[in-house]
Structure 1
Amino acid sequence: MDAFGHVNHANMVTLLEEARVPLLFGEAPGDGLAEFAKGIVVVRLSVDYRSPVVVDGRDVRVEITLSELRHASFTLSYTVHNGPSGSDPVAVTARTTLAPYDVGGSRPRRLTATEREFLRTRIPGGPPA
């Protein structure tokens, strides 16, 4: 937290990462998509603050939706609520564009059809097929 007791920017970005990790590195491999865990990089990140998230012991709720799906990248949108419920006030909205990455080849790679289907069906709000 910062000097005012608010969650600072670096910690907010970490919170967003912690929200997407179970999906991409937990659920995806469980569905037979091991390549995600081998490499995904953040291409773009934007964070908009509507109100501070105060460290007071309450949980926050992070909702993730798929807002764009391309052949070599996808964009996740986040809504961070200042409390555990979706009806609690929205404190932060954010977006990350992610690209699958071939670590061995040191280059981005295209999403497979199976990965695209996983993203489209497992993350709410996904674009149509």
Structure 2
Amino acid sequence: MRHVYECPMRWADLDLLGHVNNAVYGDYLQEARIDMIRTLGASHATEATSEADGLVVVRTRVDYLRPLLFRLGTVRVETYVEEIRPATFTLAYEVVDDPAHGGPGDDRIVYVRARTVLTPFRFASETPRRLTDEERARLEPYLEPGQEPRTPAVAPASGQRSAPGHLRVPVRFSDVDAYGHVNNVTYLEYLQEGRIELIGRLWGAAPGAPAEQGRPGPALVVARAELDYRVPMVPRAEPYDVHTTIERIGRTSMTFGTEIVDATGEAETCCARGRVVVVFVDRVTGRPVQPDEEDLRPLRELGS
């Protein structure tokens, strides 16, 4: 069984290319997840029932299969349980248009497939806990075991840190969730800010920007994003440090590694690690392209 949420789309969800922005899908998944939690009813494993107990996202993976364009109305998000373990469970999602349920067109279209690993969490002691039998029973009707291997943790970035890849990111008031932590979706925005800043410094303009802003090179479209949440980030005056590196450059794609750290103490603390695969695309046709050598040269120099 799958939980279905008809997610409203907003004009503000769009990026420079006129597609739903990659980070916005995190909002769609979160809205679908919360709607499912409400359907399951009050339970510490599925809905925060006190200030001291709730759910924490441990890991996220999003695969972007095709662009979603804006329209008036909603897009369908199907959510199900892929795995239940003693102290965590994994939710899987498909963002789709399905003509069998009122979607446009004649074929079922999948825009995104994603997973989130969640754990029940006691905020008073800042510790995870195990699922109860009652909580497992609430989740089991939605269990649809996945065929893919479990999503592994994101390894430390393999590229070298550099000045162009360093960005200081302040926490905005709107970045914070009901628990007083930076919301899990906001981390995807921080990853995006880091790689756009890096590419902008190397190319002299943001990727896909108008020609009059410099030489922007081809546009970048995200194909996959993986993110591990390690230590909660909290609102404060001091910015966090985002370090973005280039781990791999292919013919039409590139992989970024990102670490978000707290460098205010004696020892640096890693708050999150991310890895994002992007595809170079033509700004007119939207098809993958191999960048010009002039565009590739600064990327290779930084990644070497």
- TM-score, scaled to structure 2: 0.38
Matches within 5 A, 1:1-129: 1-29=14-42, 33-34=43-44, 36-37=47-48, 38-82=53-97, 85=101, 88-121=108-141, 123-125=142-144
How many percent of aligned residue pairs carry the same amino acid? 40
Residue 65 of structure 1: how far off its partner (Å): 1.2
Runs (4+) of structure 1 moved beyond 4 Å?
A: none
C-alpha spacing 1:52/1:83, structure 2 compared with 1 (3 Å): farther
Report which stretch shifted further, 54-63 or 43-52. Answer: 54-63
Q: Contact (CA 8 Å) 1:100, 1:111: kept in 2 or not?
A: yes
Secondary structure of residue in 1 paired with 2:77 = strand
Secondary structure of residue in 1 paired with 2:36 = helix
Secondary structure of residue in 1 paired with 2:87 = coil
Residue 27 of structure 1: how far off its partner (Å): 3.1
Q: Contact (CA 8 Å) 2:80, 2:91: kept in 1 or not?
A: yes
- Root-mean-square deviation (CA, aligned residues, Å) is 2.1
- TM-score, scaled to structure 1: 0.84
Q: Which has the higher contact order (CA 8 A, sep 6+)?
A: 1
Residue 88 of structure 1: how far off its partner (Å): 2.7
Residue 13 of structure 1: how far off its partner (Å): 0.4
Q: Contact (CA 8 Å) 2:83, 2:143: kept in 1 or not?
A: no
Q: Contact (CA 8 Å) 1:48, 1:92: kept in 2 or not?
A: yes
What is the total number of aligned residue pairs between the two structures? 123
Q: Which amino acid aligns with 1:8?
A: N
Secondary structure of residue in 2 paired with 1:56 = coil
Larger % of helix: which? 1
Report which stretch shifted further, 88-97 or 75-84. Answer: 75-84
C-alpha spacing 1:99/1:48, structure 2 compared with 1 (3 Å): same
Q: Which has the larger radius of gyration?
A: 2
Q: Deviations over 1:40-70 (max 9, x none)?
A: 0111100001101111224211111111100
* Uncovered stretches (5+) of structure 1, i.e. residues with no partner: none
